[in-house]
Amino acid sequence: MKNELAGPPARPTEVGPRPLERSDGRTEDAGERAAVSESTRLHTLHEISLLINAAQTREEILGVVRRESKWVVPAELTFLCLLDKSRTRYTVGSLSASFDESPLNEQEFPLSEGLPGLVIRNQSPLMRRVTPGSTANDVFEEELSRPGIRALLLVPLRTGDLTIGALGFGSGHLNVYPEQDVAIAQMLASQMAIALQSMTMLDDVKRRIAQIELVNELSGTLTSTLDLSQLLHTAVETIRKTFSYFDVTLLFVDQHAGEVYLVAHAGVHADFLPAGYRQKISDGVIGWVAAHGQLLLVNDVREEPRFLAYTYRATRSELAIPIKVGQEIIGVLNVEADAVHAFDETDVTVLEILCDQLGVAIKNAQLYDELKKSNAKLTELDRMKSDFLGIVSHDFRSPLASIVLAGQALLRRSGPFDQQRVNEYLQVIVDQATRLNYLAEDTLSIAKLESGQLSYHFNIVNLDRLIRDAAALVNFTGRHTFECSVDPAVAFARGDQAKLRQVVQNLLTNAVKYSPRGGSIRVRAKAYTEDQVVVSVQDEGIGIPADQSDRLFRKFSRINTESAREIKGSGLGLWICREIVRAHGGTIWVESTEEKGSTFSFTLKKAEAEQG
Ligand code: ADP
């Protein structure tokens, strides 16, 4: 029975030196060596195996072989060839000081090339006498012959049926390695392969656990974070750290511009992509994913034509996954690694799950942002509407007060009947009632404009009469002079008389309102193009700053200057004007100089006077 209290076996330390070395410095010959040391070598191999088994990391395993293999397999140099994940290429690594400087060290070869490739493919050892300068030599023989290697032994690194690479020994001896050496090298290689394979599996399990923890942790953060930029940043940072990718980027798709743009970036080269980086949707791996909505796994970027060469030179593999909300592709998660075949199926699955969650989280954060914005807009609209109601009720009150006063004066009359005075009072009542009527019409048209229900009755409009009708409804003060000139060549336009009256009246009311120091107010109508007429209202008032003149015509928009703020208004008049002018197929604009005055102009279609 296993003794639970025994604990792990004591870790062996160094093995060598063994009696392979001779004090006279003479090289042993193979037969002599075999006779002398067969059992000793087996014993040494057993000790090396213990060391290999006790190693905690891949580096420790390689360190043991590097230090100890010479005691069991005589060699001037030792090297290792390891298959990559794709099992199509192998990389050479040094296991002895004499190989460290070899041009073969750290080189990568396709499995179809080189003697180690042959050994891995055939899963059987190979011994070779190396003849310098022979044309039949492959690259390994060629390179190894340079430092004086004359015999080469390669054994496969096998665990069961799986070959993960090859172990190579080079000797200056002319004699090829004897069978005993081959057998011992194979035993050593198989110990090494098992240990390396377990290490890979252990690493894999560790990585999986970390990834599952990441998904848990991140999904918690994602569903609880509504701050979009923090959310994106946390996502890329966590992914990079957990998966050890050297670069992670998140890009959003701008369908309108046909581009993708960077929104979060974590990586060794964090400065490489500038903030605000944009690229066409058709470019590169990322662009392809954004356009097609499918993930793209590039195991070796050198073999992928869609890979953009200007991205990191260190990038060897890339995985880009679309982020979707429903059917809409809203972004791309892009991860890059500096090794080929860096991503396996589990990486892809885990990152796909994350992208699904990211999609939902991004949508939530965006909705929350929109909600915040529309809330702020609603609050602002609410304030503007209250302002507007205040102004409208004030506008209604003053003609009403005049009507009441005139009526009361008529009723109170007790003296002789003065027809002229009575007529004057009655005129006040009629004028003010007409004003009220127009005011009610204007207020109503705002609601109708908003709901798109304002109806127009197009006719031929006499411009001179239109302007004078409108001016009659404006309270000019003694500080203002009013002039009107209509070019007889364009005396008529096509339009809705009542609506156009409203436009001119609004512009004139503004001209008076925004010229508190008085001045002249001129209205002109003249030809604009062959079939258009322009009506302009000019004042000598406070003017409008150039940078604000564009937004004047928007609903509730008011100028933000000290002098303008002092004057009460709703910010609706010009919006109504623009809507009415647009419905006539015309345009409205302003030219203005601060403190000098403004000219508002709008165009209408010309018309001929009706016959008869
Ligand atoms: P209101 O005058 O009720 O605020 P309007 O839509 O008529 O709304 O005008 C919008 C803004 O444009 C005004 O608040 C004012 O700042 C500016 N404005 C309009 N007409 C003039 C003008 N003739 N001179 C200077 N500023 C003007």
Segment 370-413, tens digit of pLDDT: 888 888 888 877 776 776 676 677 778 878 888 999 998 888 87
pLDDT at 34 (0 to 100): 47
In sequence order, which residues have a C-beta less than 8 Å from that of residue 485 and are 6 or more positions away? 522, 523, 524, 525
Among 295-299, 302-306, 434-438, 552-556, the range scoring the smallest mean pLDDT is: 434-438
Q: Indicate the helix (H) or strand (E) that contains 262.
A: strand 259-267
| Torsion angles phi and psi, residue 598, rounded to 5 | -130, 155
Is the per-residue pLDDT at 61 higher than 50?
yes
Quick: pLDDT tens for 106-162. Answer: 999 999 999 999 999 999 999 989 888 887 778 999 999 988 899 999 999 998 889
Q: Whose CA is nearest to atom 16 of ligand 1?
A: 559
Query: Ranked by mean pLDDT, which of 43-52, 219-228, 262-271 comes out on top?
Result: 43-52
Task: Report whether residue 590 contacts ligand 1, using a CB cutoff of 6 Å.
Answer: no
Among 90-94, 294-298, 568-572, the range scoring the smallest mean pLDDT is: 568-572
Residue 334, Cβ neighbours under 10 Å: how many?
Answer: 26
pLDDT at 221 (0 to 100): 74
pTM of the model: 0.46
C-alpha to C-alpha distances, 437 to 442, 444, 604, nearest whole angstrom:
9, 11, 26
First to last CA, the chain: 125
The CA distance from 67 to 48, in Å, is 10
Mean pLDDT of the chain: 85
Q: Contact at 8 Å (CB) between 66 and 51?
A: no
The CA distance from 170 to 116, in Å, is 13
C-alpha to C-alpha distances, 563 to 517, 541, 542, nearest whole angstrom:
12, 10, 7
Quick: pLDDT tens for 422-470. Answer: 898 898 898 888 878 877 777 777 777 777 777 889 999 999 999 999 9
Tokens of 38: 């067969």
If we measure between CA atoms, which residue out of 197, 198, 208 comes closest to residue 346? 208
pLDDT at 443 (0 to 100): 74
Pairwise pLDDT comparison (14 vs 331), residue with the higher score: 331
Strands (E), 507-551: 519-529, 532-538
Is the per-residue pLDDT at 366 higher than 50?
yes
Longest dimension (CA), the chain: 156
**Mutation choice for ligand 1 from 507, 517, 558, 596, CB with most ligand atoms inside 8 A:** 558
**Mutation choice for ligand 1 from 392, 439, 476, 514, CB with most ligand atoms inside 8 A:** 514
Q: Contact at 8 Å (CB) between 361 and 222?
A: yes
pLDDT at 610 (0 to 100): 58
If we measure between CA atoms, which residue out of 431, 590, 433 comes closest to residue 506? 590
Is the per-residue pLDDT at 538 higher than 70?
yes
Angle formed by the axes of helices 179-224 and 345-412, nearest 10°? 10
* Three-class SS state of 37: helix
The CA distance from 55 to 32, in Å, is 33
Q: State the distance from the centre of ligand 1 to the C-alpha of 559, rounded, in angstroms.
A: 7
pLDDT at 598 (0 to 100): 97
Average pLDDT, integer, range 17-22: 40
Q: Contact at 8 Å (CB) between 294 and 322?
A: yes
Task: Report whether residue 573 contacts ligand 1, using a CB cutoff of 6 Å.
Answer: yes
pLDDT at 8 (0 to 100): 40
If we measure between CA atoms, which residue out of 197, 129, 140 comes closest to residue 168? 140
Q: Report the relative pairing of strands 278-280 and 126-129 from DSSP bridges.
A: unpaired
Q: Whose CA is nearest to atom 2 of ligand 1?
A: 569
Angle formed by the axes of helices 463-472 and 497-513, nearest 10°? 50
Pairwise pLDDT comparison (104 vs 229), residue with the higher score: 104
Task: Report whether residue 538 contacts ligand 1, using a CB cutoff of 6 Å.
Answer: no
Task: Report whether residue 514 contacts ligand 1, using a CB cutoff of 6 Å.
Answer: yes
Average pLDDT, integer, range 527-555: 92
In sequence order, which residues have a C-beta less than 8 Å from that of residue 453 and are 6 or more positions away? none
Compute the radius of gyration of the chain from its Cα atoms: 45
Strands (E), 111-161: 126-129, 151-159
Quick: pLDDT tens for 273-282. Answer: 667 788 899 8
Average pLDDT, integer, range 171-189: 88
